[in-house]
A and B are shown apart, each in its own frame.
Chain A
């Protein structure tokens, strides 16, 4: 038993050591840390925050950023009803067709559609954004070292550049962006959106809300995963306990 514990600690040690290696590319400034409701063993997405975050995304981010992996139908996960989802999808237009005459036509969005890209292609996006290419946000939370905390820190990290900092024309200073020069100007200001649930739309609040929404967009199966994980591990604990008892019994008969 002692040896087993030794071996387990060896395995854990190995993973911890290598982890610290694997995350070596994190860097520089320490991120702001928020206690997100969806972290931890039992964490679930804050539905109200995510719904507000969707509003921030639609009214602010979506003018430059895509969300191409996310289908409208999946918004039901955030507590929207089927009709609400259809209404959200309807706000967007898509190219349909070809029809029987071979013509393409415009149609309104359906639940099965995914969020459309704001620009026709990368060149169009760069032309409208001073040469910068706004990344698709579907996986942004998982695609940055620091995850949710990075996004939140970035959103709230705009400041005036220090006097000795050489800021390139057209760029913006952000404490948390690697190199501190970011092409995106501070995207939100207080009261940039009007929340229907009466929450005060401060920069801090909106940043948190849109981060929750994008965390869900990046990992929509998080709740199903943890739910299954708890049951699987509980089952394995019982099963392993039984194996241990059987092992003891069988080996005790050995002279």
Chain B
């Protein structure tokens, strides 16, 4: 179904800038596998969350003051005096958490179904770049309310760069704009926190572009072979995503309206005080696995390198995983390793939130070791030696198989 506009205005525009044709192509002509499960909803949910964060963020910035003496009070001004300011702020703060929940599920979906494998390596890379940008944005955003955790979190994380040999100290001073986390730091963090989301938008566009070039992966991990395998995105996946969005929004609103502070830390309601260090400096929950990896090594430089390495190795995943089969559905051993890896990440999250004392230090080290063993050793080996289950001939065959077996089960 190629795009031949009847409406003269649409025709006039489209011969000069084929933007309507592009949308038409994305919605009607872009073939989508017919068997995408709800795990494929999290990509569009992440897009929705990005928009929510940008819109609420722009409103908040109209009332926020980026100055060490006024930032904390200006946030309270938003909470108390600005009409629906509490709604905007809680939406933004909980929205960040929801954004990460959705993106983590999106990433693990990719890991399970082998979505990073050829020809989707660049798609995977762009996703990881978005993830890195999100982490930088979220970290700087958390500094803005200028509470105790804001200040001390910023101090701990920026100090990590001090581990770089020779130039480390100079880099930290340069990052701070002074000799400690202070007003210049807060100002530049605000500036960058406003800038980076739009950089994310740019990379998201590239991510979708790459997606539309290779097409979506699907639960079988085999490519679309003929028309039987695919359906147009609209209306099938628009309506499926809308239902997913509805369910997601209910959960989001549950946090937003009934437990808006449960994902935060009480110490951040204490104004920043450079003279008083909190008993435990804990980052936001979505950084905890990386925090656990950072603390697993007694050496500062080693910890920092391991933490960044934890993300860097993900870039190499398309080449580390030697298996020619994508989906874990047909990979009996990888499937089990996937779940163990997921549990390992949850353990790291848990340990990251605990004080650095036994038994958490030991558990953290073992979990960190396993993280790298899984990616660097097990994944390549399993790919070489694993015997995969027989693959269906096509997507439509796998869908038909499922239907018949369900009917047989119904008859029995």
Contact = CB atoms under 8 A, between A and B. Distances in A.
Contacts of A15: 97, 101, 263, 285
B247 A17 contact: no
B179 interface: no
A7 B39 contact: yes
A75 B368 CA distance: 52
Contact of B104 (A14, A144, A236, A237): A14
B168 interface: no
Contacts of A60: none
B239 A243 contact: yes
Interface in A1-33: 3-4, 7-8, 10-15, 17-25, 27
Contact of B76 (A74, A139, A147, A230): A139
B282 A25 contact: yes
B247 A226 contact: no
A148 to B, nearest CB: 12
B253 interface: yes
A76 B267 CA distance: 29
Given A11-B105, A236-B246, A24 B280 contact: yes
B267 A233 contact: no
Contacts of B265: 22, 25
Contact of A243 (B38, B246, B285, B346): B246
A143 interface: yes
A138 interface: yes
Interface in B231-289: 231, 235-236, 239-240, 242-247, 249-251, 253-254, 256-258, 260-263, 265-267, 269-270, 278-280, 282, 284-286, 288
Overall SS of chain B's interface:
helix
A221 B86 contact: yes
Contact of B243 (A22, A229, A247): A247
Give the size category of B's interface with A.
35 or more
B355 interface: yes
Interface in B276-310: 278-280, 282, 284-286, 288
B127 to A, nearest CB: 19
B7 interface: no
Contacts of B353: 18, 20-24
Contacts of A251: 236, 239-240
Contacts of A19: 262-263, 285
Nearest to A243: B243
Contacts of A228: 87, 257
A163 interface: no
Contact of A69 (B76, B245, B284): B76
B285 A21 contact: yes
A220 interface: yes
Given A7-B39, A15-B285, 11 more contacts: A22-B285, A74-B80, A135-B270, A220-B80, A225-B260, A233-B253, A240-B243, A243-B245, A247-B239, A250-B239, A254-B236
26 contacts: A4-B38, A11-B251, A17-B349, A18-B285, A20-B350, A21-B282, A22-B282, A22-B353, A24-B355, A25-B265, A25-B355, A27-B279, A142-B269, A143-B266, A144-B266, A221-B86, A225-B87, A226-B257, A233-B254, A236-B249, A244-B243, A247-B242, A250-B236, A250-B239, A251-B240, A254-B34
